[in-house]
């Protein structure tokens, strides 16, 4: 009993059919830990427990390493201090920080199959490990990607302990953490990119018009705030800023390739005030329309000679 956490009436089973366990000599071989591609992230042990009925583990002082648990199938429970309880099911992933009390066990009627990894890393600040954040991979594509890299991890770990293999294990684990915590879910990622792509296409087809954020959002049938979020995330610009950038890039082509007067070019991209247009162009491209044309004209003449 710890912090009011209920201890389930189950017993620890010593072994599971088809289980795999690998202990790595990382901490005993200074050569590995001193290598710059290994020292920031390295594995000490890893295992695969399939259909692990009665699986139970309790650590009152926590572990000296961070523990990664990925549930391939079935169900299980992890208990933390302050009566925080996390239920794991198929496609769930969690990391338990070092020196954190925990107790975990498989569900008796539907025991989990898990891959677990003990590791040390100085990169934990870049991932929400200390938040005990449960990741739920609803995307089949992301699950497949994660599982394939975990399989690669086991295959490399079972080979010889060369420095090359240890570097690969280190980099592969870092990739797994990055995919688990930072790679967007496939469905969400694809949808956002569809909106972004459709909007940019629409912008390119209407460079001669003055269009508001609300009009772009109406065209996509999403809220203006969501559209703004998508553009800020992927372009670090608002939709209107991005639209203006496209307009000014089109203006640059007119200045380079045509003899149109500047006020005529301004009208082609929906600016009726040539002075305001010139200020926007200079702010975006770094030069006034006149100076931009002069520089590119001289450049072209020089190239032709």
pLDDT digits (tens, 9 = 90+) for 101-131: 999 999 999 999 999 999 999 998 899 998 9
**What mean pLDDT is predicted for residues 222-242?**
94
Q: What 3-state class would DSSP assign to 9? A: coil
Instruction: Summarize the chain as % helix, strand, coil (round to 5).
Output: 45, 20, 35
- From the number of C-beta atoms within 10 Å of its C-beta (0-12, 13-18, 19+), residue 140 rates as exposed
**Domains of the chain as residue ranges with CATH:** 20-183 (2.60.120.280), 187-304 (1.10.10.60)
pLDDT band at 227 (very low <50, low <70, confident <90, very high): very high
Give whole-number Cα distances, 116 to 45, 68, 72, 99, 142, in Å: 9, 5, 11, 17, 18
Q: Are 151 and 72 in contact (CB under 8 A)?
A: no
**What mean pLDDT is predicted for residues 3-16?**
40
Q: Are 179 and 185 in contact (CB under 8 A)?
A: no
Q: What 3-state class would DSSP assign to 168? A: helix
**CA pair distance 74, 111, nearest whole angstrom:** 5
Q: Are 289 and 278 in contact (CB under 8 A)?
A: yes
State what percent of residues in the chain have pLDDT above 90: 66
Matching residue, tokens 């870049």: 126
* Helix runs in the chain, H state only: 30-33, 140-157, 163-181, 186-205, 213-220, 224-235, 239-257, 262-268, 274-285, 289-304
**Residues 65-108: pLDDT tens digits?**
999 999 999 999 999 988 789 999 999 999 999 999 999 999 99
Residue-wise burial string across 254-284, b where 16 or more C-beta atoms lie within 10 A, e elsewhere: bbeeeeeebeebbeebebeebeebbebbbeb
pLDDT of res. 185: 67
Matching residue, tokens 């769930």: 92
Structure tokens at 4: 């009011």
pLDDT band at 139 (very low <50, low <70, confident <90, very high): confident
pTM, entire model: 0.61
**CA pair distance 147, 70, nearest whole angstrom:** 9
DSSP state of 134: P
**What mean pLDDT is predicted for residues 236-250?**
96
């Amino acid at each position: 009993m710890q912090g009011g956490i209920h201890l389930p009436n189950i017993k620890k089973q010593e072994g599971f059919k088809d289980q795999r366990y690998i202990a790595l000599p990382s901490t005993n071989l200074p050569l590995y830990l001193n290598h710059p591609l290994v020292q920031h992230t390295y594995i000490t042990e890893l295992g695969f427990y399939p259909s692990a009925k009665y699986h139970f583990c309790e650590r009152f002082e926590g572990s000296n390493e961070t523990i990664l648990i990925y549930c391939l199938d079935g169900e299980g429970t992890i208990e933390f201090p302050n009566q925080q309880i996390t239920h794991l099911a198929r496609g769930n992933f969690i990391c338990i920080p070092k020196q954190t009390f925990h107790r975990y066990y498989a569900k008796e009627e539907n025991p989990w199959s898990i891959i677990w990894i003990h590791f040390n890393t100085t990169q934990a600040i870049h991932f929400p490990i200390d938040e005990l954040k449960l990741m739920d991979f609803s995307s089949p594509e992301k699950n497949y990607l994660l599982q394939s890299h975990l399989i690669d991890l086991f295959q490399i770990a079972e080979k010889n302990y060369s420095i090359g293999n240890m570097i690969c294990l280190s980099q592969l684990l870092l990739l797994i953490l990055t995919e688990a915590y930072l790679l967007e879910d496939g469905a969400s990622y694809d949808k956002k990119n569809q909106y972004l792509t459709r909007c940019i296409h629409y912008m390119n087809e209407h460079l001669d018009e003055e269009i508001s954020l609300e009009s772009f959002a109406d065209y996509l049938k999403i809220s203006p705030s969501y559209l703004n979020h998508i553009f800020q995330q992927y372009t670090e610009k608002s939709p209107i800023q991005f639209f203006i950038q496209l307009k000014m890039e089109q203006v640059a082509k007119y200045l380079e390739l045509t003899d149109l007067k500047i006020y005529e070019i301004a009208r082609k991209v929906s600016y009726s005030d040539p002075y305001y247009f010139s200020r926007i162009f200079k702010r975006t491209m770094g030069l006034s329309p006149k100076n931009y044309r002069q520089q590119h004209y001289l450049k072209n003449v020089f190239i032709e000679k």
